[in-house]
A and B are shown apart, each in its own frame.
Chain A
Amino acid sequence: MNVQPAEAPDNRATLVDRENRNTVGEAFVDNARMSCRHVDVYYGDKQAINGVSLDIGCNEVIAMIGPSGCGKSTFLRCLNRMNDTIDICRVTGQITLDGKDIYSKAIDVVPLRAQVGMVFQKPNPFSKSIYDNIAYGPRIHGLVNNKAETDEIVETSLQKAGLWEEVKDRLDEPGTGLSGGQQQRLCIARTIAVSPDVILMDEPCSALDPIATAVIEDLIDELREQFTIAIVTHSMQQASRVSQRTAFFHLGDLIEIGSTSQIFTQPRHKLTEDYITGRFG
């Protein structure tokens, strides 16, 4: 038989072994809004994050995934110094926002947390009216001088959060009276109201039904045009839907980072493959 020899490139070797703890993938980008280098986090003697380095690009949504206890939420909370509130927590390494070290002694965490806002797992509106939930931030940060300016920020923020049409006729009613999905969008509007650069979201849809989740995911896609977003999620499908880049954490290590489509179709590390295909968790 006159058969050409098969010359198949053996691409199977590209999967990195489970035991290898070095980060695989493209951790850095050209247009970084936040840069993290060699970040370690300790709770007392226990190290929760091990030398993580990555960039968060301007106007991108980066998803952080990994099993419970992998350090993804701990890492997220480092990005606006939320861990400062935990006495035994110590953060080393460098995290910059637009080139400025956010852990510098010169940094005031109150404006920092406006610049890097946060939305939590469980909606946590203030026990105030819908209007005041939004107006509170701009007032304390001195972003408004009069009622007209406040009205404008309240309306704009609620519009950006896709909530305006649903609440515009009841702005005086308590925020806590809204549905779970509406409360979460109220919290997003509250974060937007102080004009952040970055929005951190820690499992923002885990307490919501599928419809409310879809509304938030749609909103995240719209917000990306104006803001940079880092989201921690346990839902692989959500990460694949809303983000452009994905970072996979395991036992405090950043195992793999890359474009979301690559991570979910062709992960390079065996641990990533095993995790996202449901072989451990």
Chain B
Amino acid sequence: MSPKHIVRSYDADLDRAKSKIMEMGRSCVAQLDHATKALETNDSVLAKRTMKGDELINTLYSEIDGFTVRLLAIRQPLAGDLRHIISGLKIATDLERIADYSANIAEHVIGLDNVILEQPVKAMVEMADKARSMLSDAMEAYRNVDIFKATDVWHRDDEIDRDYSQLLSQLRQYLTDDQNNINAFTHMLFVARSCERIGDHITNIAESIYYIETGQFYHGNDAAGE
């Protein structure tokens, strides 16, 4: 463990930045959870609340962004501190996008307009649940700077990609077979796409955690870093 900085307020600033990012991560997990529940239960009230909840995430992101710029200007960080601060901002950016996609899912739940199609909804809920679990683990990996957990999360995105591919084929088939529900299937396409993009942003977070600890970029099993 590294000793504390001579300037004690620097440690307090780094702690504050990390704690804000953790708070943003918890809010994003909750947002994704609400969006998934709204989808599962076809709950438009919860969906609207989820869309509104995105404002809090945006506010948190602005705070982190401003605070990071201030840290860079005042502390002029180097080495591990620099990697922590830069990666923290990148993680916050990915979280902000994840929250946007969660709000998108909620918006499309409203667009489904009470059309209940059990099979594709079940598949989408499973995808969203996997993404939420990955995000939760990614944030725990960030808290402990645990590169093994981070890389585990990174690889789990393959499963989301496979699910997305399967669901896409199914939805194409539904679109051909069931002309009455084209509108609902289109909304489902967007929901599936949002889940897939959330998975990609979570892998970015995992890569940032890996960079904090090693100073190298993770590209999968053949990663040697740069």
Q: Which residues of A contact B (CB under 8 A)?
A: 1-12, 14, 236-237, 240, 264-267, 272-274, 276-281
Contacts and interface: CB of A to CB of B under 8 A. Distances in A.
Among B78, B81, B152, B225, residue most surrounded by chain A Cβ atoms (within 10 Å): B78
A19 to B, nearest CB: 14
B214 A278 contact: no
Interface of B: 2-7, 10, 76-83, 147-148, 150-152, 154-156, 158-159, 210, 213-216, 218, 221, 223-225
A278 B10 contact: yes
A265 B6 contact: no
A266 B217 CA distance: 13
Contacts of B80: 273, 277
19 contacts: A3-B155, A3-B156, A3-B159, A4-B155, A5-B152, A5-B155, A6-B152, A6-B154, A9-B223, A9-B224, A265-B82, A272-B79, A273-B2, A274-B3, A276-B78, A276-B79, A277-B81, A279-B4, A281-B6
B76 A237 contact: yes
A5 B220 CA distance: 11
Given A1-B159, A7-B221, A277 B148 contact: no
Contacts of B214: 9, 11-12, 14
A276 B79 CA distance: 7
Given A3-B156, A274-B3, 16 more contacts: A3-B158, A4-B155, A6-B154, A8-B148, A8-B150, A8-B210, A9-B224, A11-B214, A11-B225, A12-B213, A12-B214, A236-B76, A265-B82, A276-B79, A277-B81, A280-B6
A276 B75 CA distance: 12
A278 B213 contact: no
Contacts of B81: 277
B78 A240 contact: yes
Nearest to B213: A12
Given A12-B213, A279-B3, A280-B3, A7 B151 contact: yes
Contacts of B10: 278
Contacts of B155: 3-6
A272 B155 CA distance: 34
A10 B79 contact: no
Q: Across chains A and B, which 8 residue pairs bring their CB atoms closest together, nearest first?
A: A8-B151, A11-B214, A266-B215, A6-B151, A6-B152, A4-B155, A276-B78, A7-B221
Contacts of B2: 273-274, 277, 279
Contacts of B221: 4, 7
Among B83, B147, B225, residue most surrounded by chain A Cβ atoms (within 10 Å): B147
A8 B218 contact: yes
Contacts of B4: 279
A281 B225 CA distance: 31
A237 B74 CA distance: 12
Nearest to A272: B79
Contact of A277 (B77, B150, B154, B159): B77
Contact of A273 (B6, B76, B79, B150): B79
A4 B79 contact: no
A190 to B, nearest CB: 32
B13 to A, nearest CB: 12
Contacts of A237: 76
B207 to A, nearest CB: 11
B147 A12 contact: yes
A219 to B, nearest CB: 22
Contacts of A2: 159
Output the residue of A3, A8, A280, A281 with the most chain B CB within 10 A. Answer: A8
A181 to B, nearest CB: 22
A48 to B, nearest CB: 24
Contacts of A236: 76, 78
Given A264-B79, A265-B79, A278 B6 contact: yes
Contacts of A278: 5-7, 10
Contacts of B152: 3, 5-6
Contacts of A274: 2-3
Given A9-B225, A11-B216, A277 B78 contact: yes
Contacts of B147: 8, 10, 12
Contacts of A265: 78-79, 82-83, 215
A264 B78 contact: yes
A1 B160 CA distance: 11
A210 to B, nearest CB: 13
A278 B4 CA distance: 9
Contacts of B83: 265
B67 to A, nearest CB: 19
Nearest to A4: B155
